Amino acid sequence: MGRSFEPKQMLVVDPPSEIVFEGPFNRAVCKKVMVFNPCNYRVAFKLKTTTPRLFFVRPNVGLIKPNESFTIDIFMHPLVSNSSALRSNHKFLMQAVEANDFVPDLHSFWRSINPASIWDTKIKVKLIEGKTDVQQTGSDQEHGNGEHQDTDVNDPLGLLLKQVNTLEEEKQSLLKQVETLDKENEENKQTTIKLQRMKGPGFGYFVGFLLMVALAFVAGGFLATNYT
Q: Provide the terminal-to-terminal Cα distance of the chain, rounded to the nearest Å.
A: 130
Same domain, 36 and 123: yes
Model confidence at 27, in pLDDT bands (50, 70, 90)?
A: confident
Same domain, 110 and 198: no
Same domain, 137 and 91: yes
Same domain, 112 and 223: no
Q: What predicted TM-score, i.e. pTM, was given to this entire model?
A: 0.56
Give the DSSP per-residue string, the chain.
-PPPP-PPP--EEESSSEEEEES--SS-EEEEEEEE--SSS-EEEEEEES-TTTEEEESSEEEE-TT-EEEEEEEE----TT-GGGGS--EEEEEEEE--S--S-HHHHHHTS-GGG-EEEEEEEEEE-S--HHHHHHHHHHHS-S-TT---TT-HHHHHHHHHHHHHHHHHHHHHHHHHHHHHHHHHHHHHHHHHHHTSHHHHHHHHHHHHHHHHHHHHHHHHHHH-
Is residue 116, in this structure, part of any structural domain at all? yes
Model confidence at 159, in pLDDT bands (50, 70, 90)?
A: low
Question: What torsion, rounded to 10 degrees, do the Cα atoms 18, 93, 45, 70 define?
Answer: -20
Same domain, 213 and 116: no
58-78 mean pLDDT: 94
pLDDT of 142 over the 50 cut: no
Same domain, 52 and 128: yes
Same domain, 132 and 80: yes
pLDDT at 112: 92
Same domain, 139 and 196: no
Same domain, 38 and 132: yes
Strand pairing of 119-128 and 18-22? parallel
Same domain, 17 and 80: yes
Is residue 182, in this structure, part of any structural domain at all? no
Q: Which of 96-100, 104-108, 180-184, 191-195 bottoms out in mean pLDDT, i.e. has the lowest?
A: 191-195
pLDDT by residue (tens digit) across 83-129?
Answer: 787 878 899 999 999 998 899 999 999 999 999 999 999 999 999 88
Between residues 155 and 42, the one the model is more confident about = 42
Model confidence at 201, in pLDDT bands (50, 70, 90)?
A: low
Q: Which of 35-44, 138-147, 159-168, 201-210 bottoms out in mean pLDDT, i.e. has the lowest?
A: 138-147
Tally of structural domains, the chain: 2
Q: Which of 98, 121, 150 is the last residue of a domain?
A: 150
135-145 mean pLDDT: 34
Cα–Cα distance for residue pair 99/42, rounded to 1 Å: 5
Q: Which of 47-56, 64-73, 152-161, 217-226 bottoms out in mean pLDDT, i.e. has the lowest?
A: 152-161
Domain of residue 204: give its range. Answer: 187-227
148 near 21, Cβ under 8 Å?
no
pLDDT at 166: 61
Q: Which of 10-19, 139-148, 153-162 bottoms out in mean pLDDT, i.e. has the lowest?
A: 139-148
pLDDT of 53 over the 50 cut: yes
Q: What is the CATH number of the domain that holds 23?
A: 2.60.40.10
